[in-house]
Amino acid sequence: MKYGYHYCDTNINLLHDTLNALNGSSNLVNQTKLDIDLLVVTGDTVRHNSDPNIPLTVDEILQTSQFVMRKLKESLPKSIILPAVGNNDLFIHDILDKGPNANLKGLYESYELLTGFSDYKDTFLKGGYYTYQTKNMNLIVLNTNYFVLANSIHADCGRGTPGHHQLTYLKDQIASAKSRHQAVFIAGHHSASKYVWKIDCLEKFKETVNSTIVSGMLFGHAHTDRFLSSKKMATQFLNPSILPQHQPAFRIYDIDVKGHIKNYIQYCANLEESNQLGIVKYKTQYSAIDYFEIPDLSRKHMHQWNN
């Protein structure tokens, strides 16, 4: 099959056609060219290590990461591209010790291919996290691998752990943004949940992000279309993926100049149809504000809808 099967990883053909949809050259049904200022990649540019006959190697992890970053830059030369570290991007699945280390250094050398990424060298090599800033907005990209249960090196986010250092960084970034009257977005790989995160890390994270200037959070990992809402945190938007576990999909968010989420449009392709036709065609699946019947995707309206 040209574009693969459900529950397989994304192959090169599917990646190619998806990038053509994003840059507007083709593969997007009944739409004008998408205007993408900023692309957030929520982790896992590397395949799953699920085939015992083809074990994943460190060289393949780094080569795949470099290949994907190069393709993203070529396809979207005018867009800012911000990758997060996923658990499949690690040399040992789910396991990452404090930085600097060879894993973060190798990923940095891949991400450095992206325009402007060298600005984040210090914090990325330290812990795989960084902040992209505009006049009115700060997008903090976290390395959630330090928070999750699956990373058994550190039991919690106690003092001296890489999770603690990252939470301190996050707290400082939010305080700085608040003093400048700027909005904050948070992005990462694993969403903040008691089923995925260590309880100590989760509670400290909730306390840290409990601020009205945090407009929203973007996560991946689950390959699903959903959101998580609570009183203590801004809405967590869990993005679908182009990995065809279900159907390949991506979202385009509309964020105003003040850093408020107005809406998102989700685009989806049908894998079976794509394999039959020999081309991927992404179609509009839904508009979030129309689906939820709310005026915008602000923290206030998402919480009201959820309750």
Per-domain residue ranges for the chain? Answer: 12-306
Q: What is the Cα–Cα distance from 100 to 106, expressed in whole angstroms?
A: 11
pTM, two decimals, is 0.96
pLDDT digits (tens, 9 = 90+) for 85-130: 999 999 999 999 999 999 999 999 999 999 999 999 999 999 999 9
Structure confidence at residue 34 (pLDDT): 85
Alpha-carbon Rg for the chain in angstroms? 19
CATH 3.60.21.10 fits 12-306, yes or no: yes
Q: In what order do the strands lie in the sheet with 226-228?
A: 130-133, 137-141, 183-187, 214-219, 236-238, 226-228
Structure confidence at residue 129 (pLDDT): 99
**In the chain, which residues have pLDDT < 50?**
none
Q: Rounded to whole angstroms, what are the CA distances from 130 to 195, 228, 252?
A: 25, 23, 22
